[in-house]
Amino acid sequence: MTATPGATVFADFSEQVSSRLAALDDDVRSGRLDAAIDLIVDSLRKGGVVQAFGTGHSQAFAMEVAGRAGGLIPTHALSLRDIVIRGSRDASVLGGSGLERDDTVVDELFDLYELDPADVFIIASNSGVNGSIVGVALRAKELGHPLIAVTSLEHTNAVTPKHPSGKRLSEVADVVIDNRAPYGDATITLGEGLSAGAVSSITAAYIAQLLTLGAADRLRAAGEVPPLYVSANVPGGDEHNDALKERYGSRIGSLA
């Protein structure tokens, strides 16, 4: 049988992904995610909301945390595009990567949302150095919110911070979770200076689900009912979700 072209790189990428997920599984077994789960559970018990934020491809992490089937209902995603959709900025600012590097966007962004002192922040950024990421992290801490960071320690420690404070996301957070992505994110070298097979979105999504499962299981073990979304595509899903969403109202956003 003739081998499929590129089969070797596919197998190599599978190994790169599986080895990193295995490392995260080891983090779970070793209790290295417990501190983050503690912060989430404590927030939920106080009536707080999990505030998730990411820019670029890390927006997918926020979507994995907030407003999805099997996820926690008291969750909300901060998004830079909201300063256009709900704020006063022109849509032209959404082009390119300038906005995610802009540390001045923080004031306007925070003014758009209804935050509670009990809310916990989870911020994902592979590099952990861009202006908006570090700016949101600093503002969350200034307001007294606990902060969980999901970042590549290998990458962030190899690059220079871009925020005026000179800080990295990992240096601001209360708890740091290493997403296990390598410097540059891509894992497979293709020659001529080219690489592919980025893994940070995959590992970040896995971390988001680990934190959700951990928090829900912790509540269940204590005899509490975890506030979880049921898929809107199954009978009774909308009714279940709407009843719980009413408890949080606009705090979890109209799209949650």
Long-range contacts of 197-202 (CB under 8 A, 24+ apart): 197/9, 197/12, 197/13, 197/16, 198/57, 199/16, 199/17, 199/20, 200/57, 200/58, 200/126, 200/152, 201/57, 201/58, 201/60, 201/61, 202/17, 202/20, 202/21
207-218 tens-digit pLDDT: 999 999 999 999
Q: What is the pLDDT of residue 2?
A: 38
pLDDT band at 6 (very low <50, low <70, confident <90, very high): low
Rounded to an integer, the average pLDDT of 48-64 is: 96
Give percent of the chain above pLDDT 70: 96
pLDDT of 87-117, one tens digit each?
778 788 877 777 888 888 899 999 999 999 9
Cross-strand partners of 121: 51, 147
SS3 119: coil
Give 44's pLDDT tier (boundaries 50, 70, 90): very high
For 31-89, the DSSP string reads TTTHHHHHHHHHHHHTT--EEEEE-GGGHHHHHHHSS-TTSBSSEEEE-TTHHHHTSS-
- What confidence score (pLDDT) does residue 254 get? 54
Per-residue model confidence (pLDDT) at position 256: 38
Mean pLDDT of 174-197: 95
> Residue range 238-247: average pLDDT?
86
Looking at residue 234, its pLDDT comes to 85
Residue 4 banded pLDDT, cuts 50, 70, 90 = low
Burial of 178 (0-12, 13-18, 19+ CB in 10 A): buried
pLDDT reading at 124 higher than 60: yes
CATH class in words for 18-190+200-244: alpha beta
Mean pLDDT of 164-186: 97
| Identity of the residue numbered 141 | K
Confidence of residue 1 (pLDDT cuts 50, 70, 90): very low
pLDDT tens profile 133-143: 999 999 999 99
Nearest to 205 by CA among 74, 78, 35, 57: 57
Residue 72 has pLDDT above 90, yes or no: yes
Q: Where are the domains of the chain?
A: 18-190+200-244
What average pLDDT is seen over the chain?
92
